[in-house]
Amino acid sequence: MTEKRKTLIIGGGIIGGFCAWFLQQAGRQVTIVDRGDFGAGCSHGNCGYVSPSHVFPLTQPGQVKRGLKGLFDRKAALTIRPRLSPSLWMWLLKFATRCNKRDMMSAGRARNAILESSRQLYEAIIEEHQLQVEWKTDGLLFVFRDQKEFDHFAETDSILKRDFGVAATPVDGAELQTLEPALKPGLAGAWHYRNDAHLRPDRMMAELKRLLLESGVEILSDHELTGFRQNHGMATAAQTSQGEIVADEFVVATGPTTPLLNRVLGCRIPIQPGKGYSITMARPSVCPVYPMLLEEVHVGITPFDSGYRIGSTMEFAGYDTQMRPERLAYLRNGAAEYLHEPTTEPVEEEWFGWRPMTWDGLPYIDRTPNMNNVWVAAGHNMLGLSMGTATGKLIAEMMTDQQPHIDPSPYRIGRR
């Protein structure tokens, strides 16, 4: 009997978890290591959206102006804390050059492919394995307070429908009161993306861990990658804080901390950590039926069967580990502008995490140029959960020489 190839996944978030799942299904013997615990990063505290609607990246026309505002306005959803960081300023320059319609549409096509695939794969995996993750397919509301902004979004929706097959149902202010009574009266309306779904991320990670362990995947905590032992352009072992782990192939799925491994990987992965916050609490007495994005303030609302979460903000502050009360207050105040009962008690968790932001809005899913058996799957921006299943499947296909189910070329390392 042929011995199975040993695969080591570095990173125990949603991306690393689904890379492990699909590689295990393809016949590999898989181990996951993480610097902390499995599922403890952004895969734990995000808003839980599985969103084919999120086609367009942040690099949109007009975003540079909004970013400059964030340099000076600490009350904006997007903030940039100035600091001496050549990598940040180079990243911001690259980001600025992409804020045009041509590049936005190009990134949109690549995002659309992986988002649509992921949505279908989630449905299939959750149904087949009866995962208890509070999976809902009610869609997602993009809610507008301002009539001009609501009307202007019709242009965006038209492009999404025409070029990507992603269409929403417009809901005017009067209809919105009937559809979602948790919202205050007097709002302009909402756009309802019915194909979006949501789940509870911490339940997803717990169920994915159970599924992986039952399938034979080994999961090791407190193993921080420090290097690779190499021989003739191949990695032969991962060097970790707990010793060496020998394997035949490796996947680095370390999200926002991937740039800290650039020397180890022998290539540059230009990711910036974008700090987001969330507050998880009991369900309000007047709880939203639908998950929603409150567009003018950029705050996300997610009702779970077992709780309620508000989240968002984007703070470029490096690997800052402070829980900043003003950012949590921003979430509460933003939600209060739209909802009858925006928050409640008890608060289960106040959380922050770093999102792996790329300057073009696309992840890196590729083989490293200097080690033929080391792959990277990182840089999913704010969409790690949304893109998790398709990323895992694509990595497994490329590593096992199968025909990729989506074109991997937009996600290559070294793109400009």
On whether residue 40 sits in a domain, the answer given is yes
* Number of domain units in the chain: 1
- Report the alpha-carbon distance of residue 111 to residue 382 in Å, rounded: 12
In this prediction, residue 72 has a pLDDT band, given cuts at 50, 70 and 90, of low
On whether residue 287 sits in a domain, the answer given is yes
394 neighbors 376 (Cβ within 8 angstroms): no
On whether residue 416 sits in a domain, the answer given is no
On whether residue 266 sits in a domain, the answer given is yes
Tens digits of per-residue pLDDT, 356-405?
999 999 999 999 999 999 999 999 999 999 999 999 999 999 999 999 99
- Report the alpha-carbon distance of residue 300 to residue 278 in Å, rounded: 9
On whether residue 354 sits in a domain, the answer given is yes
Residue 374's SS3 state is strand
CA separation, residue 178 to residues 116, 175, 289 (Å): 30, 5, 11
- Provide the mean pLDDT of the chain: 95
Q: What pLDDT sits at residue 74?
A: 63
- Report the alpha-carbon distance of residue 279 to residue 192 in Å, rounded: 24
Tens digits of per-residue pLDDT, 229-270?
999 999 999 999 999 999 999 999 999 999 999 999 999 999
On whether residue 1 sits in a domain, the answer given is no
Tokens linked to 347: 């608060």
Concatenated DSSP letters of 271-283: EEEEEEEEEEEPP
Q: Which domain holds residue 257?
A: 6-411
On whether residue 302 sits in a domain, the answer given is yes
Tell me the β-bridge partners of 29: 6
Q: What pLDDT sits at residue 71?
A: 58
- Please choose, from the candidates 194, 86, 188, the residue with its C-alpha nearest in 3D space to the C-alpha of residue 147: 188
- CATH code assigned at 390: 3.50.50.60
On whether residue 31 sits in a domain, the answer given is yes
Tokens linked to 376: 């990277």
Asked if the model's pLDDT at residue 140 lies above 80, the reply is: yes
Tens digits of per-residue pLDDT, 184-228?
999 999 999 999 999 999 999 999 999 999 999 999 999 999 999
Count of Cβ atoms closer than 10 Å to residue 266 Cβ: 15
